[in-house]
């Protein structure tokens, strides 16, 4: 079967230190997959490899069946992404930033609609330089969805948002998934956040996905729920892979 996102034996070393090793990931179309891991676990590193921004030391990865390492422009057009601290044209408005992004991708989309979906419709001509951290994060999400991608790769998408903003984003992600069938891979270091959104959670620790769970089911097999389970997996550094 063709996965929306797949990785096999993925590894990455920085100056001889192996940060990701033998990471395997298989995400089906239509899933909301939560990538959970402590700060420094390697979430961003994996996402960068999926988007062709970092070259793996070993292994292979594909998005929509397209090889990530070859950096196919088609991957960029068919995915939307938000990685770490997003960079914008500071002197331009939110709408102008989205228009430039669409032109760069040679894609069509509706900037006004995307801004409305993230709650930035009132910003008008205000330059991004004047935006708060939360507003920038919302704009980053708008940029990730403006061309209506098939797959969304969102690295800590609710960082810097207030509780109402987090709620709104969560609703938006679920809407995009359910109504438009967009496959979503999102990362977080906050258990509660992933638990609320994801239909499947992969726990990244010691360089690989050490466990995968359905957050709805975990309570049945594991008294103490997701948190107790997570702490056990992270504490033990994996389950049965070695």
Residue whose CB is less far from ligand ADP, 41 or 114: 41
Q: State yes or no: residue 45 binds ligand ADP (CB under 6 A).
A: yes
When binding is defined by CB under 6 A, the residue of 4, 25, 41, 184 that contacts ligand ADP is 41
Q: What angle do CA 87, 188, 61 make, to 5 degrees?
A: 80
Toward ligand ADP, which CB reaches closer, 39 or 221? Answer: 39
Nearer to Mg ion, 44 or 183 (CB): 44
Closest distance to ligand ADP from the beta carbon of 187 (Å): 7
Residues of span 114-173 touching ligand ADP by CB under 6 A: none
Distance, CA of 161 to CA of 167 (rounded, Å): 9
Q: Which of 1, 16, 39, 242 binds ligand ADP (CB under 6 A)?
A: 39
Interface residue with ligand ADP, options 25, 27, 33, 44 (CB under 6 A): 44
Measured from the CB atom, the residue of 39 and 130 that comes closer to ligand ADP is 39
Find out whether 139 and 121 touch, Cβ atoms under 8 Å: no
Angstrom CA distances, 74 to 27, 60, 132, stand at: 19, 17, 32
């Amino acid at each position: 079967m063709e996965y929306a996102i797949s990785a096999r034996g993925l590894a990455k070393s920085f100056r001889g230190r192996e940060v990701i090793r033998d990471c395997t990931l298989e995400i089906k179309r239509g899933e909301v997959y939560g990538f959970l891991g402590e700060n420094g676990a390697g979430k961003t590193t994996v996402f960068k490899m999926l988007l062709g921004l970092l070259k793996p030391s070993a292994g292979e990865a594909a998005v929509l069946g397209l090889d990530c390492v070859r950096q196919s422009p088609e991957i960029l057009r068919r995915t939307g992404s938000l990685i770490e601290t997003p960079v914008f044209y500071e002197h331009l408005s939110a709408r102008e930033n989205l228009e430039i992004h669409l032109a760069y991708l040679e894609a069509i989309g509706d900037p006004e609609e995307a801004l409305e979906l993230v709650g930035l419709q009132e910003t008008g001509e205000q330059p991004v330089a004047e935006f708060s951290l939360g507003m920038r994060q919302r704009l980053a999400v708008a940029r990730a969805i403006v061309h209506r991608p098939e797959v969304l790769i969102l690295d800590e998408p609710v960082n810097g948002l207030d509780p109402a903003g987090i709620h709104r984003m969560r609703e938006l992600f679920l809407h995009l998934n359910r109504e438009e069938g967009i496959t979503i891979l999102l990362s977080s270091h906050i258990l509660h956040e992933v638990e609320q959104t994801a239909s499947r959670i992969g726990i990244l620790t010691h360089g690989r996905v050490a466990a995968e769970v359905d957050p709805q089911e975990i309570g049945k097999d594991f008294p103490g729920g997701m948190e107790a389970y997570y702490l056990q997996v992270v504490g033990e550094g994996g389950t049965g892979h070695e």
